Amino acid sequence: MFDWNELYKIRQTHDCVSIKNYLDKFNKLDLSSEPIEDLLDRDICIQKEWIKGKHIWSCNFDYKATGFTLYQFPLWWAYKVRDIYSNKDIVNKKFNTDKQFITLIWTETLVKKNWYNFINNYLDNAYYNFNFLNINNLKETHHWEQLPQEYFDSVWEFGIESGSKLNNTCYQCITEKTFRPLFFGKPFLVFGSPGMYNKLKTFGITLNPFINYTFDKNVKNRWDLFCLEVKKLVNDDNHKQHFLHAKKNQLELLQVLEKYNTDYNKYKMGICNV
């Protein structure tokens, strides 16, 4: 019988072969649901959908790490974004300024519900998809792998990183929600776990000098500080300076992806310790 606790114990050995051998036993079985909320008190998270796809080394979340994200390879989602979009004709599309921002929220978390309650006051000048509420004004509702045209008809992308359904916690990982605008050179502001933007700096990403990132610190009022910045940017008409900085970020990310590409390929093959 498949046992999440047994998998967690094997995972803590950082032994790819042992993990793969254990999963091979249950390859054709319907895995039991992982107790996601319990993971906030665990060192390791291994998501069900990744197990089914056998990409176990790709999703090694360590929620207790002070540094943060994907256990030993936090750039995983940056490469996923690159691999998904690089062969599409949207990579070099130019941005229009029909609307001030777009926000694409797929799944429900407590922070995302709070986000809707706040940003709902500013949606007249936005494109949006709150999939978990069945609320959107897009011509076609796409999953994140298929960006809508409206993504390129707006200035900013505002978003919320993955998190808990039970409390105001964003998980300590950086996903496509943050790497996507960086990859496309789109001005953005995303709410994540404390220290997320500081981590981006360690990758070589320059933070926008026109944004106050005080909310990135682990302070009690960080949500209010984030909303304050969004409110400021919603009313900011100096698009040129933000697009110039976003283009700089795009080039920085491409340099980072080139630098660690060999490591990424090893991770995909399961060669590295997970």
Domain spanning 81-259: which CATH class is it, in words? Answer: alpha beta
CA–centroid distance for 212 within its chain = 20
Top pLDDT among 90 and 113 is at 113
Does the pTM surpass 0.85? The reply is no
Task: Give 118's pLDDT tier (boundaries 50, 70, 90).
Answer: very high
For the chain, give every domain's residue range: 4-64, 81-259
The stretch 209-236 carries a mean pLDDT of 96
Residue 33 has pLDDT above 70, yes or no: no
Give the E-state strand segments of 69-142 in sequence order.
99-105, 126-130, 135-136
Q: Which amino acid is at 114?
A: N
Write the pLDDT tens digit of every residue in 232-264: 999 999 999 999 999 999 999 999 999 988 877
pLDDT of residue 48: 52
**For the segment 44-67, what is each residue's pLDDT rounded down to a tens digit?**
445 554 455 444 433 333 333 222
Q: How confident is residue 117, by pLDDT bands cut at 50, 70 and 90?
A: very high
Residue 196 has pLDDT above 60, yes or no: yes
What is the SS3 string spanning 161-226? CCECCCCCCECCCCCHHHHHHHHHCCCEEEECCCCHHHHHHHHCCCCCCCCCCHHHCCCCCHHHHH
Measured CA to CA, the distance from residue 75 to residue 58 in angstroms comes to 10
Higher-confidence position of 29 and 214: 214
Determine contact, residues 224/193, Cβ cutoff 8 Å.
Answer: no
